[in-house]
Structure formats: structure tokens, C-alpha cells
Amino acid sequence: MSFIGGIVQSILTDIAKDALLKSRTTKESWGCGCLIIIVFIGALILLGLLINVSENGIKIETEEYVWKNIKVGDSIFVRDSYGIDFYKKGKVKLHEWEQREVKYAYEEKVDFIKINRVNDKFFFKNKMSFIGMCIGIDSTTTGKWLAIKPSNEVTHPPKPKDAYDYKTRTWENKMYDLLNETKLSKEFYVRASDVVLKNNNHLFK
């Protein structure tokens, strides 16, 4: 319970005690004492609800919360039950309007290219939310990104004798992207807005 909550509870307790003492002296004050006790109990319940809502509010992990609190070595968990995309860095050619905006100073830029998709089905089948470990952070004009070492469960590649479910996840560790004709980074990246720092296993059970 918070400091303010403790003070409020203490004041309400004193009021209730006074009411009980007065109620013993006269029959007329008995009804008033009962009323105060009822108000006191109601106030305690309301206070508990307010504190609970307040504490839960603090625990909500927004993108900004994750960005400010994450450290290299922290475990990362998928935010919700919709799955998650993994990216790699690579150079992509700017569109003509983008080149005009930079006055043709350069024709390419480093961007994040989607490589893998892990479906929510994977997390439900495995009853887990863990996706890997943070190995770095990267802020760009396209958003807040976290370099990640994916877990072995997520990256488990299909084997010839496996009943590998491609609807559950796809996974490639390619170093070159043919579509964008670019060399890719060694590290995988996820958006800070797609992950949380707390274990979210309860979502998938």
C-alpha cells in the first residue's frame, strides 16, 4: 500500500474508533456509530480498489517504458497474442521523392527489413511468451528498435523428419536479401512497441 493510502487508512481507523467509543455512551449515538462504520468499510474498499488500479497502471509497459528500462542482457517477451515480426538491417534504395527530399545527396539508406514472422499459434502451442535476450538498442527515424538474440525455441529450424508447422512460424537466418539486393546484419531486431520486459505466459495458457 502507498504512503498516502496508509495515512488515509489511519485517519479512517481513528474515526471509526471514536465512533465506537461514543456509541457505547448513549443509545442515540449507536445508529450514528454504525453509519460511520459502514462508511469506513466502504471507504477502505474504495481505497483498496484505487490503489490496485494505480499499481496496475504503473506496471503497464508502454513502448516508452520498455525503451527507458531495458538493458543489455534483459529477457524480452512478446507483448500480446498476435505474434511478432523479426527484422534485420540492410541498405535499401530510396524512392525518387525521398531522393529529392535529400537533394540527391544519397540514393540508399539503412532500413529494417522483415525477415521472420512468429505466429501467435507458436506461443499458444508452447504456452510461453519468451522470445530472446536484448543485445543492444537502436533508435532511428523509423522508431525504437531492440537488437535481439532469439531463443532456441523460436529459431528452431525445420528438420527433414520434423513435423514442422510453417503456419506456426517461419525462420531464416539469411545474410543477403535478394528482394532488396542488400547484405543483411548479423543481428535480428524487434520493435520496442512489440515487446515487454515482464513474463507474459499467462496470455498463452
**pLDDT tens-digit readout, 112-163:** 999 999 999 889 988 999 999 999 998 776 789 999 999 998 988 666 555 6
Let me know: does 134 contact 73? Beta carbons within 8 Å.
yes
In this structure, the answer to whether residues 92 and 104 fall within a common structural domain is yes
Let me know: does 151 contact 78? Beta carbons within 8 Å.
no
In this structure, the answer to whether residues 156 and 104 fall within a common structural domain is yes
In this structure, the answer to whether residues 33 and 77 fall within a common structural domain is no
Residue 201: per-residue pLDDT: 93
In this structure, the answer to whether residues 67 and 54 fall within a common structural domain is no
In this structure, the answer to whether residues 177 and 192 fall within a common structural domain is yes
SS3 167: coil
Let me know: does 185 contact 89? Beta carbons within 8 Å.
yes
- pLDDT tops 90 at residue 179: no
Residue 132: per-residue pLDDT: 97
Residue 54: per-residue pLDDT: 39
In this structure, the answer to whether residues 75 and 38 fall within a common structural domain is no
Q: Which of 18, 39, 59 is the last residue of a domain?
A: 59
In this structure, the answer to whether residues 100 and 150 fall within a common structural domain is yes
SS3 119: coil
Owner of C-alpha cell 515487454 = 196
Domain count, the chain: 2
Q: Which of 19, 42, 59 is the last residue of a domain?
A: 59
Query: Model pTM?
Result: 0.67
CA atoms within 13 A on the CB side of 74: 19
- pLDDT tops 70 at residue 19: no
In this structure, the answer to whether residues 53 and 133 fall within a common structural domain is no
In this structure, the answer to whether residues 20 and 89 fall within a common structural domain is no
Residue 12: per-residue pLDDT: 52
Q: Which of 12, 32, 59 is the last residue of a domain?
A: 59
In this structure, the answer to whether residues 183 and 83 fall within a common structural domain is yes
Q: Please report which confidence band the pLDDT of residue 52 belongs to, taking 50, 70 and 90 as the band edges.
A: very low
Owner of C-alpha cell 537466418 = 173
In this structure, the answer to whether residues 34 and 77 fall within a common structural domain is no
Domain that holds residue 158: 63-204
In this structure, the answer to whether residues 76 and 153 fall within a common structural domain is yes
